[in-house]
A and B are shown apart, each in its own frame.
Chain A
Amino acid sequence: MWSTFLMFAWKNMTRRIKTTGPLFLCVLVSVFAIVLVWSSYDMAKGGVELSRTRMSADVMVYPYETELDDASMLYSGIAQSVYMDADIIGRLSNGYAERVVSQFYLQTLPTAGCCTVMEEMRLVGVDWEEDLTVRSYLKGADIDTLDMQEVILGGNIDIETENTMILNMPVRVAGVLETTGTYLDDSIVLSMEQLRQLAKVNFPASYFGGRAPMDLVTCALVELKEGVDPQEYIRSVEDVQARKVLISSTADTVQDEIMVLFRLLAGTAAVILLLCVAALFSQMQALIHSRYREIGYLRSIGVCRRDVYKMFVLEIGIIVLAAGVLASAAGLTAARSVIEWIRQYMSLPLGGWSGGAILVHFGGGLLLTVSVSAVSAAVPLCRAVRMPPQEAMTRGEL
């Protein structure tokens, strides 16, 4: 019986393409808009929260000369040839600080050759034992020490694990980081000592302003003692000539920016949804009205009301679910592109997406599809099926 209903539904759909087509489009556009905004928002919000949770540092310190804003420095970590003296670490370590660690950024040379890293990539030197940011993102088992010639790859780095050379040094991949949506995804992490040595060998001294790389750091990350007010700490290191960023307030600012942007997008999506739902109502009405005679005829040959319902629910279900599946999948795919696009204009961490999150958003898209379609189809369908067969037969087409 279901095969008959299915065949009936399919034939009806394909031969009434002028009615079913717009219906399909309405569902497609509305669900796509909602899934796109919802997924993008969750992805961005997840990225901020992940960064905030994982990053145990409270304050970030970096040179005044860096041409980046706080959020960009925190999330994009764009490697710039701007360094500060390493002795700043000692001056930042006062009674308020639990520990102070430094990072040294560099980039691979833009040369290509056999067994070398082909593209210019960011290198991040860290003090692995004391690290406050990178280590918490490590996939799999923790690594106690990061030996010389060992590297950790960011989530987006795709290079061979064997025979890889970085700055003319053969390296071994010791681990891979989770995708964070921050600069770490496109970075290769080495021990800071190793990276400074590579910098000394491969880059001219002028690159570091004539100073020795061993005496320089790119930034410092400070973890404060329990209960210390970050503002108080910043006041206590006022004399240190570097820019100090409160990590939590920067994350709040980014989150606020995300909220403003996504409120705008959500508003647009809501308007699209409203317009599409209005169109959907009208399309459903038209679809069912044009079938009165068919309903009447089916009833006249003894097909019971429940089976007529089934037939129409199946037909409408095929159209809207096909549109819903397509819209949800497209919305999820496009969300990533939207985030990337937004990141070009503002510093935005991008949370990694688990299979569960994808399922939730996909399922949400389908739920929205079913709800909107059920609401718009219920009234005209009930009215049509409850109509006396004779009245139904004198209206609509077969």
Chain B
Amino acid sequence: MAGGHIKIDNVSKKFTDLMGGENPAVDRVSLDIRPGEFVCLMGPSGCGKTTLLRIIAGLLEPDSGELFLDEEPIHGPGCERGLVFQDPELFQWMNVEQNVAFGLKARKVYAQQKENVQRYIDMVGLTGFEKALPHHLSGGMQQRTAFARALINQPKVLLLDEPFGALDAFTRVALQERLIDLWKNFGYTAVMVTHDVEEAVVLATKIVVMSDRPATVEKIFDNDLAYPRDRDSSASIALKKDILNVLHLKNGFPNTL
């Protein structure tokens, strides 16, 4: 599968509170995400990066500006954009196999592609857990099921909303490596929201640092380090420092974010 080309052109979004007051979340953001890129959106908590990701997913309509996927305007969700949330959001009454197969069934292509279900389960390392219910799995395994469910639709773009945020450090590192493998294998375009600078440095080819609310593009870092990336290499550390400096200097946030 080939990655999709996302073009975000001057997109703004604001929310209205109960008193009628307007809270701008995203302000005139423009981005060009090329096919096969792995982009991490970073920024202070509550700055609007998740809002931007959900606009790309089609879950929210922008107030102004336009978005395109391969030159087609984005209006609403679509199966060419897979979504993985921080919470795996699995159907608790379905086993792993049924959860993974659900995307195919929803697209009415299950009959033609049902052999893919096992393939994707194997790919995320859940062989042997096909019949397990979500509450019998660890957090990491649930998240891997969510990855398989998103990937089985062979999306052009994989959108990840802090997918490792609720996992322990060991699981997070293991899943980061698996995510890189999957991304390399499939060639999809990945857009990930994260608070973890090290995670962004290890995974992304491009890191977009956003300003405090309303989110604007503060700085874009290109990351050309070779995979697999060494977290403790001088280049990684230097890039991490640069990102933290942008965040710290502009917003007064501690390096831990």
Proximity string of chain B (53-64) to chain A, C-beta cutoff 8 Å, 1 when within and 0 when not: 010011111000
CB-CB contacts below 8 Å: B106-125 with A:
106-108, 110
**A20 nearest CB across to chain B (Å):** 14
Q: Are A301 and B91 in contact (CB under 8 A)?
A: no
A390 at the binding interface (Cβ < 8 Å)? yes
Range of interface residues on chain A? 10 to 19
Cβ contacts under 8 Å, B150 to chain A: 301
Contact partner of B77 (CB less than 8 A), chosen from A1, A4, A15, A302, is: A302
Cβ contacts under 8 Å, A297 to chain B: 89
A398 at the binding interface (Cβ < 8 Å)? yes
Q: Are A389 and B105 in contact (CB under 8 A)?
A: no
Q: Are B59 and A302 in contact (CB under 8 A)?
A: no
Cβ contacts under 8 Å, B81 to chain A: 302
Cβ contacts under 8 Å, B214 to chain A: none
Q: Are B78 and A388 in contact (CB under 8 A)?
A: no
Cβ contacts under 8 Å, B92 to chain A: 398
Cβ contacts under 8 Å, A4 to chain B: 102, 105-106, 110
Q: Are A301 and B108 in contact (CB under 8 A)?
A: no
Cβ contacts under 8 Å, A303 to chain B: 106
Contact partner of B93 (CB less than 8 A), chosen from A11, A301, A388, is: A11
B69 at the binding interface (Cβ < 8 Å)? no
Q: A11-B93, A297-B89, A300-B83 are in contact. Are A389 and B77 (CB under 8 A)?
A: yes
Cβ contacts under 8 Å, B108 to chain A: 1
Cβ contacts under 8 Å, A390 to chain B: 54, 59-60
**B139 nearest CB across to chain A (Å):** 16
Proximity string of chain A (166-210) to chain B, C-beta cutoff 8 Å, 1 when within and 0 when not: 000000000000000000000000000000000000000000000
Q: Are A301 and B79 in contact (CB under 8 A)?
A: yes
Interface residue count on the B side (C-beta < 8 Å): 29
Cβ contacts under 8 Å, A15 to chain B: 93
Cβ contacts under 8 Å, A299 to chain B: 59, 76-77
Chain A: CB-nearest residue to B106: A303
Proximity string of chain A (14-33) to chain B, C-beta cutoff 8 Å, 1 when within and 0 when not: 01000000000000000000
A50 at the binding interface (Cβ < 8 Å)? no
Chain B: CB-nearest residue to A293: B89
Cβ contacts under 8 Å, B106 to chain A: 4, 298, 301-303, 307
Q: Are A1 and B105 in contact (CB under 8 A)?
A: yes
Chain B: CB-nearest residue to A15: B93
**B150 nearest CB across to chain A (Å):** 8
Chain B: CB-nearest residue to A1: B108
Main secondary structure of the interface of A (DSSP, over half): helix
Q: Are B153 and A388 in contact (CB under 8 A)?
A: no
**A347 nearest CB across to chain B (Å):** 58
**A195 nearest CB across to chain B (Å):** 71
Chain B: CB-nearest residue to A305: B76
A132 at the binding interface (Cβ < 8 Å)? no
CB-CB contacts below 8 Å: A380-395 with B:
388-390, 393
Q: Are B57 and A302 in contact (CB under 8 A)?
A: no
Proximity string of chain B (122-160) to chain A, C-beta cutoff 8 Å, 1 when within and 0 when not: 000000000000000000000000000110010000000
Docked Cα-Cα span, A299 to B106, in Å, equals 10
A296 at the binding interface (Cβ < 8 Å)? yes
Q: Are A301 and B59 in contact (CB under 8 A)?
A: no
Docked Cα-Cα span, A388 to B54, in Å, equals 11
Contact partner of A388 (CB less than 8 A), chosen from B60, B83, B91, B103, is: B60
Q: Are B89 and A398 in contact (CB under 8 A)?
A: yes
Proximity string of chain B (32-57) to chain A, C-beta cutoff 8 Å, 1 when within and 0 when not: 00000000000000000000001001
Docked Cα-Cα span, A297 to B85, in Å, equals 10
Q: A296-B59, A390-B60 are in contact. Are A302 and B91 (CB under 8 A)?
A: no
Q: Quick one: which of A1, A302, A303, A307 has the most chain B CB within 10 A? A: A302
Q: A1-B105, A11-B93, A298-B106 are in contact. Are A388 and B79 (CB under 8 A)?
A: no
Q: Are A388 and B107 in contact (CB under 8 A)?
A: no
Q: Are B89 and A302 in contact (CB under 8 A)?
A: no
Docked Cα-Cα span, A298 to B77, in Å, equals 10
Q: Are B78 and A302 in contact (CB under 8 A)?
A: yes
Q: Are B93 and A300 in contact (CB under 8 A)?
A: no
Cβ contacts under 8 Å, B110 to chain A: 1, 4
CB-CB contacts below 8 Å: A295-326 with B:
296-303, 307
Q: Are A301 and B103 in contact (CB under 8 A)?
A: yes
Q: Are B59 and A389 in contact (CB under 8 A)?
A: yes
Q: Are B107 and A300 in contact (CB under 8 A)?
A: no
Cβ contacts under 8 Å, B80 to chain A: 302
Cβ contacts under 8 Å, A307 to chain B: 106
Q: Are B58 and A389 in contact (CB under 8 A)?
A: yes
**A12 nearest CB across to chain B (Å):** 8
Chain A: CB-nearest residue to B59: A390
Contact partner of A300 (CB less than 8 A), chosen from B77, B91, B94, B102, is: B77
Chain A: CB-nearest residue to B82: A301
Q: Are B93 and A393 in contact (CB under 8 A)?
A: no
Q: A1-B108, A11-B93, A389-B77 are in contact. Are A302 and B103 (CB under 8 A)?
A: yes
Q: Are B91 and A398 in contact (CB under 8 A)?
A: yes
Cβ contacts under 8 Å, A296 to chain B: 59
Cβ contacts under 8 Å, B83 to chain A: 300-301
**A9 nearest CB across to chain B (Å):** 12
- Beyond the given A1-B105, A301-B106, A302-B79, could you list 14 further A-B residue pairs with CB under 8 A, ordered by the A residue number? A4-B106, A11-B91, A15-B93, A297-B89, A299-B59, A300-B59, A300-B77, A301-B77, A301-B102, A301-B149, A302-B106, A388-B61, A390-B60, A393-B59
| Subset of 11 A-B contacts with CB under 8 Å | A4-B102, A4-B105, A4-B106, A296-B59, A300-B57, A301-B79, A302-B79, A302-B103, A302-B153, A388-B60, A389-B76
List chain B positions with a Cβ less than 8 A from chain A. Answer: 54, 57-61, 76-83, 89, 91-94, 102-103, 105-108, 110, 149-150, 153
List chain A positions with a Cβ less than 8 A from chain B. Answer: 1, 4, 11, 15, 296-303, 307, 388-390, 393, 398
10 A-B pairs closest in CB distance:
A302-B79, A390-B59, A4-B105, A389-B59, A303-B106, A11-B93, A390-B60, A1-B108, A300-B77, A390-B54
